[in-house]
Amino acid sequence: MNNYLNEVQKHLSGIPQKETIELLEYYEEYFLDANLTLEQIIEKYGTPKKFAQALKMTYFLEHDDENSTAVQPQNPKHRLQLVWLIVLGLFASPLLLPVALSLFLVLFACCIVLFALLFSCYITVIALIFSGFFTLISAFGILAQSLITFIFFTGIAFVAIGLGFIFTPLTLEFTHILFNLFMKFIKWIGYKLTKKSNIKVRGAI
């Protein structure tokens, strides 16, 4: 059993050392109390690598939920690891392979749609700001020819620049909302996987 947990520890990179030790101590005590043999542990939790991946997935899911209600922002590195672990978890079981492929295609389609939406939003904002400044510079070129035309184009320029700066925070907020919706979907899949594996982290650390 000790060899099993030692192998598990090797695959728990990303979890702070203190919490890694607490997790391993919790499961060591649990295995001893339940009188589980190595064969029973492997049958229930899989190989050390698979068990470690399930532990990490559960840890990052719960850690992300805690941070979402806290003042401090979520760690982008942890979120990327979470997405990757969930993808690995989907493809880990042959029984889940058809479901995994379907969900992967859905995720890929969602990513394409989100990227297209965000790309168009950012291009619109950048185009408004740059066209506004270009129009403003061009207006000074016709100042000597017509004051009215200069005022007209200057007004258009300031409107374009103003709209660009107004839409900038809205676009950033829209990006944040879309990313959070994407993460909620990812975490929903993750919780379905961890529910099947019966892995516990909260209360163990």
Q: What is the pLDDT of residues 125-134, one digit of tens each?
A: 999 999 999 9
Residue found by looking up tokens 């100042």 in the block: 143
pLDDT for 26 beyond 50: yes
Taking a C-beta distance cutoff of 8 angstroms, is the pair 64, 184 a contact? no
Residue found by looking up tokens 């979402």 in the block: 68
The pTM assigned to this predicted structure is 0.65
81/74: higher pLDDT? 81
Percent of the chain with pLDDT over 70: 85
Instruction: Quickly state the pLDDT bin for 114 (edges 50, 70, 90).
Output: confident
The span from the CA of 27 to the CA of 54, in Å, is: 13
The span from the CA of 10 to the CA of 198, in Å, is: 21
Percent of the chain with pLDDT over 90: 19
pLDDT for residue 71: 47
pLDDT for residue 106: 81
The span from the CA of 75 to the CA of 66, in Å, is: 12
pLDDT for 146 beyond 80: yes
pLDDT for residue 131: 94
Which pair of tokens denotes residue 147? 């004051």
CB environment 93-105: b (16+ within 10 A), e (fewer): eeebeeebeebee
Q: What is the mean pLDDT of the chain?
A: 82
73/139: higher pLDDT? 139
The span from the CA of 103 to the CA of 97, in Å, is: 10
Give me the mean pLDDT over the 28-56 stretch. 87
CB atoms within 10 A of CB 181: 12
The span from the CA of 198 to the CA of 189, in Å, is: 15
pLDDT for residue 72: 53
Give the list of residues 6+ apart from residue 83 with CB closer than 8 angstroms, or none. 186
The span from the CA of 68 to the CA of 77, in Å, is: 15
pLDDT for residue 160: 93
- What angle, rounded to 10 degrees, do the helices at 48-68 and 38-45 form? 50
- Extended beta strands in the chain, E state: none
Give me the mean pLDDT over the 83-91 stretch. 76
Give me the mean pLDDT over the 59-82 stretch. 70
